[in-house]
Structure 1
Amino acid sequence: MTTFNVPTRAEVSENNQAIFDNLNKALGFVPNLYATYANSDTALENYLNFANAKTSLSAKQKEAVNLAVSEVNACLYCLSAHTAIGKMNGFTDPQILELRAGFSTVNTKLDALAKLAKNITENRGKTDASVLENFFNAGFTKGNLIDTIALVGDKTISNYVHSTTQVPVDFPVAQPLELETV
């Protein structure tokens, strides 16, 4: 099997070196998954532009989607990264585990969003009508739906990059999910 090493700054294009420098300034390091995108001269910049694009979803809502999608896609790297980011956005460990399982017992709007993200991912976009109706009944709009679908795609790309490359996880490793799902 092909082994994927995490490229260093010296091993990537000048454009990616500048992105590495910006990531180091912003985060204090270049996450291994982002560095892996830099194997391509264009993918890292394209992905970061997509991931950081404007959205109607709040930071907490984005993390709810990221956690649910990464759980369905069994991506330990993204689960670990988004567990850390979820905590930075105010989620507790039990809330993060619920969102990973695709629900929330503390917030009906996040519950509808997590259920939708899980359902879209599991069904490859063939969303169950009842899940979609629940999403709209929770107060979300058609614009929120499109932004959620875009975010599911965004996160799925990273899930697939890690699942294929298996680069080392450089965040505290997420605990296994052992929740009963609702």
Structure 2
Amino acid sequence: MPNYPIHTIASSPAGSKSGLEQLQQAFGVLPNLAATIANSPKLINSLVGVFQQVHSSSLTEPEIQIVLLTDAVANSSNYAVAFHTALALQQGVSSEETETIRERRVPMDKRFAALSTLARTLIEKRGHLSDQEFDSFIAAGFTKEQVLEVVAIVAASTITNYAGTIANPPLEDPFRQYAWRG
């Protein structure tokens, strides 16, 4: 596996500094995964741009975390599963729901189930939703515009999931309790 430096804002390439500052401000810490992605200014800045759009969508933060956790599990991204388990719990998602997703099962909450199912289906079927899959999401109380918002979340998580799998940064102390092996 390649060995990528885990940057600080000071040690990062010049083109990555602003993106890292924005992520540090958003999270209160600089996640090791972001500090690794900073090796590529193009990738970190792409992530920051889509990150801002994802977190200003019409979905709630708990709903966004359901999609991000489902994506991390579907992509078998160990770092992202731990990270998004912690964030989902911080956003009020129950430990039962997060554990269900980590076990590759569908959440009990109707909206969470629809979001998780759509996210997993988008990844597994490369965006090829059937009419029934699309209609099931809408029937759960979502809009057709929100289908596209979930696509944006999947795009953001693809960046972190793939980069995390390639670079394999260590988990920070607060996330170790949520370590996961796909």
> Is TM more than 0.5 here?
yes
Match of 1:174 among 147, 171, 178: 178
**Percent identity over paired residues:** 26
Q: CA RMSD in A?
A: 2.2
User: Equivalents in 1 of 2:153, 2:12: separation in Å?
Assistant: 27
Q: Which residue of 1 aligns with 2:60?
A: 58
- Taking a change above 3 Å as real, the CA distance of residues 30 and 86 of structure 1, as seen in their structure-2 partners, is same
Q: Which residue of 2 aligns with 1:154?
A: 156
Worse-matched range after superposition: 28-37 or 57-66: 28-37
Unpaired runs of 5+ residues, structure 2, are none
TM-score of the superposition, structure 1-length normalised? Answer: 0.86
Name the amino acid aligned to 2:13: S
- Taking a change above 3 Å as real, the CA distance of residues 108 and 26 of structure 1, as seen in their structure-2 partners, is closer
Can you list the C-alpha shifts for 1:14-54, whole angstroms capped at 9, x where unaligned?
A: 34334444544553421111111211223222211211213
User: Equivalents in 2 of 1:116, 1:159: separation in Å?
Assistant: 18
Equivalences, count = 177
User: Equivalents in 1 of 2:181, 2:130: separation in Å?
Assistant: 24
Can you list the C-alpha shifts for 1:38-75, whole angstroms capped at 9, x where unaligned?
A: 11223222211211213121111111101111101000
Name the amino acid aligned to 1:103: V
- Taking a change above 3 Å as real, the CA distance of residues 52 and 24 of structure 1, as seen in their structure-2 partners, is closer
TM-score of the superposition, structure 2-length normalised? Answer: 0.86
- Taking a change above 3 Å as real, the CA distance of residues 114 and 26 of structure 1, as seen in their structure-2 partners, is closer
- Taking a change above 3 Å as real, the CA distance of residues 141 and 23 of structure 1, as seen in their structure-2 partners, is closer
Spell out structure 1 runs of 4+ moving beyond 4 A. Answer: 21-26, 175-178
Give 1:138 shift: 0.8
Answering whether residue 34 of structure 2 is matched by residue 34 of structure 1, we say: yes
Worse-matched range after superposition: 116-125 or 8-17: 8-17
